Amino acid sequence: MSNPNQISNEDLHAYIDGALGEERALVVRKALAEDSELAERAAAFQADKAMFKAVYAPLAEQPLPPEWIARLHAPARPERRWRQAYAIAAALLVMAIGPLAWRYHTPATRGDVVEVALDARAGTPAGEPHIVTSDGLKAGRYDAALRQTVAFNVHIPDLNRMGYRFRGLRLYDKAAEILYRGPQDQLFTLYIRRSDGSVRFDQFERRGLRVCIWQDDQISTVMAGDISAAVMQRLATLSYAGLTT
């Protein structure tokens, strides 16, 4: 159907969270009953929310690091206090709700994992890959090579349910890049290396691509593709869950 009531993704998320007013919630409920495509999208969002909760619940229950508490109480110059408070609040937000924290204009930093990942995708990495696989391969047979390279217990995610098929694996020095092809043969890549210990979840556009970085205290994963923000959100969830479970 054509979504005559103009139900936005924000409406759907608010409806799922029970945050819509009664009148608007009634409109959304009626639209979901009449529009199967809209209902399917809402179901996908609800599934994503359940996945996010399962992934981040253990992290959100952890006590605050002592250094964060020390920063809150340490004296600071007035012009820097708001920056420190914002940084701590942002980190807490990521810990609590993970993928709901978005930054769309993250500046590039030399040596940043995102820049390194995009260089690898473009074929201009810092070093040559040790192994490059080709089409027609089964992802599972390369799990051991991925784990050995990244030095962490990870697996090559199965993205078939989204129509993305494994097409290759490139291994670098302590990092790896997994390649997929989507329903329209579009390239989707996952670049993985060990984390610096910080927690980060950003989604933004860079070099004409939609990019998502999902980093916990163990691994950094940079996902990139010529896709929409909504598709990236679902692929990111599926990729992270597939890597770590």
- The domain ranges of the chain are 9-53, 63-98, 102-244
The pLDDT assigned to 178 comes to 93
Q: Is the pLDDT of residue 181 over 80?
A: yes
The more confidently predicted of residues 222 and 135 is 222
**What are phi and psi for residue 50, nearest 5 degrees?**
-65, -40
The pLDDT assigned to 112 comes to 86
Tokens matching residue 154: 């990870």
Q: Which of 94, 166, 164 is nearest to 156 (CA)?
A: 166
What rounded mean pLDDT belongs to the chain? 76
CA angle 212, 214, 219 (to 5 degrees): 135
Q: Whole-angstrom Cα distance, residue 32 to residue 25?
A: 10
Q: Is the dihedral of CA 38, 41, 42, 43 positive or negative?
A: positive
Q: Is the pLDDT of residue 83 over 50?
A: no
Reported as a pLDDT band with limits 50, 70 and 90, residue 129 is: low
The more confidently predicted of residues 134 and 103 is 134
Q: Which of 198, 207, 159, 156 is nearest to 177 (CA)?
A: 156
Reported as a pLDDT band with limits 50, 70 and 90, residue 130 is: low
Which are the contacts of 198, defined by CB distance < 8 A and separation ≥ 6?
A: 91, 215, 217
Pick the CATH number of 102-244 from 3.40.50, 2.60.40, 2.60.120, 3.40.1000: 3.40.1000
The more confidently predicted of residues 77 and 177 is 177
The pLDDT assigned to 109 comes to 53
Reported as a pLDDT band with limits 50, 70 and 90, residue 136 is: low
Reported as a pLDDT band with limits 50, 70 and 90, residue 233 is: confident
Reported as a pLDDT band with limits 50, 70 and 90, residue 100 is: very low
CA angle 74, 79, 82 (to 5 degrees): 65
pLDDT tens readout for residues 29-43: 999 888 888 887 787
End-to-end CA distance of the chain: 37
The pLDDT assigned to 7 comes to 87
Neighbours of 46 (CB within 10 A): 15
Q: Whole-angstrom Cα distance, residue 88 to residue 242?
A: 29
* Beta strands 200-206 and 165-172, pairing class: unpaired
- The model carries a pTM of 0.59
| CA diameter of the chain | 59
Q: Whole-angstrom Cα distance, residue 25 to residue 233?
A: 24
Q: Whole-angstrom Cα distance, residue 53 to residue 174?
A: 30
Query: Long-range contacts made by residues 229-232, C-beta under 8 angstroms, separation at least 24?
Result: 229/203, 230/9, 230/41, 231/162, 232/203
The pLDDT assigned to 74 comes to 64
SS3 of 89, please?
helix
Q: Is the pLDDT of residue 219 over 80?
A: yes
The pLDDT assigned to 240 comes to 85
pLDDT tens readout for residues 48-58: 666 566 555 55
pLDDT tens readout for residues 7-20: 888 888 888 888 88
